[in-house]
């Protein structure tokens, strides 16, 4: 058993003391540090990095790495959201030939009391402005929508006896400009109905389908006008 006066490491290189006082064990330095190495001797290549640590291989995951929303669409061309412009206007035109003179057809169209007789979308109507019919006169028509009555106020925008009659709604999300034209043709009257539809507010989402719905309603109304006048003549 060596005495307690043993000093440091036996190699006298590091000067470290053993872990147990008085016991000549190995010093805390590695074996490589105790072996002298010359400058010309080739060094042993390490398998790992600078520190000699060999990293553990990471197993490849079966699940692909998550991609952010921006990286998913990075390779796609940018497309703006399709949205109808604020001033998008759809024009509708419907024609019908009636075997009656122009004067009779014109009088039936401008008489609001007769609208429920040939218009399926109107229950009743009356004038709001006193006096004879003129440009700027206002009237109210009451229609049915899903079983409920809806009143719509309109204003006369065009009035030419035997030639034209036009009106438009005063307010509401559905902006229309109805214009009836009357032309003498083949001993009868050719009625041409044009309408410029502009949707606002929540109804703008119906812009692609609204023209077809309105056109179907106008054809039904003009067919009712033709039946009313020609049947009344017979």
Mean pLDDT of 205-211: 74
What is d(CA 218, CA 223) in angstroms, rounded to the nearest whole number?
8
1-15, 57-71, 146-160, 191-205: the lowest-pLDDT one: 1-15
Q: Which residues of 29-65 are buried (b: 16+ CB within 10 A; e: fewer)?
A: eeeeeeeeeeeeeeeeeeeeeeeeeeeeeeeeeeeee
Mean pLDDT for the chain overall: 75
pLDDT for residue 184 = 95
DSSP 8-state assignment for residue 122: -
Residue 115: CB atoms within 10 A of its CB come to 21
Residue 12 confidence (pLDDT) above 50: no
| Model pTM score | 0.60
Mean pLDDT of 62-76: 59
Residue 203 confidence (pLDDT) above 70: no
DSSP 8-state assignment for residue 80: P
Task: List CB contacts of 213: < 8 A, sequence separation 6 or more.
Answer: none
**pLDDT tens digits, residue range 33-45?**
455 555 555 555 5
pLDDT for residue 93 = 94
Sorted by where each begins, the domain ranges of the chain are 1-34, 90-233
Contact, 87 vs 198, CB < 8 A?
Answer: yes
Which superfamily, per CATH, for 90-233? START domain (3.30.530.20)
Task: Identify the top-confidence range among 40-44, 54-58, 88-92, 120-124.
Answer: 120-124
For residues 230 and 146, the model is more confident at 230
Residue 139 confidence (pLDDT) above 80: yes
pLDDT for residue 4 = 46
Tell the burial category of 125 from Cβ atoms under 10 Å away from its Cβ (0-12, 13-18, 19+): buried
**pLDDT tens digits, residue range 146-187?**
677 888 899 999 999 999 999 999 876 667 899 999 999 999
For residues 67 and 87, the model is more confident at 67
Strands (E), the chain: 90-98, 124-127, 138-145, 148-160, 164-169, 174-175, 178-185, 188-199
2-11, 16-25, 87-96: the lowest-pLDDT one: 2-11
């Amino acid at each position: 058993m060596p005495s307690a006066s043993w000093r440091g490491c036996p190699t006298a290189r590091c000067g470290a003391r053993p872990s147990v006082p008085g016991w000549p064990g190995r010093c805390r330095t590695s074996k490589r540090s105790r072996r002298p190495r010359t400058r010309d001797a080739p060094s042993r290549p390490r398998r790992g990095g600078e520190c000699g640590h060999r990293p553990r291989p990471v197993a490849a995951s079966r699940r692909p790495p998550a991609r952010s929303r921006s990286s998913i669409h990075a390779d796609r061309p940018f497309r703006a959201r399709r949205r109808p412009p604020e001033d998008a206007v759809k024009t509708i035109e419907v024609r019908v030939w009636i075997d009656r003179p122009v004067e009779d057809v014109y009088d039936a169209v401008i008489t609001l009391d007769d609208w429920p007789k040939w218009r399926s979308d109107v229950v009743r109507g009356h004038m709001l402005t006193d006096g004879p019919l003129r440009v700027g006169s206002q009237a109210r028509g009451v229609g049915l929508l899903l079983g409920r009555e809806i009143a719509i106020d309109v204003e006369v925008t065009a009035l030419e006896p035997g030639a034209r009659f036009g009106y438009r709604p005063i307010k509401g999300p559905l902006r229309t400009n109805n214009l009836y034209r009357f032309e003498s043709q083949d001993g009868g009257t050719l009625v041409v109905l044009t309408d410029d539809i502009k949707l606002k507010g929540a109804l703008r989402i119906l812009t692609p389908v609204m023209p077809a719905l309105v056109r179907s309603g106008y054809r039904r109304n003009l067919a009712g006008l033709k039946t009313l006048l020609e049947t009344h003549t017979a």
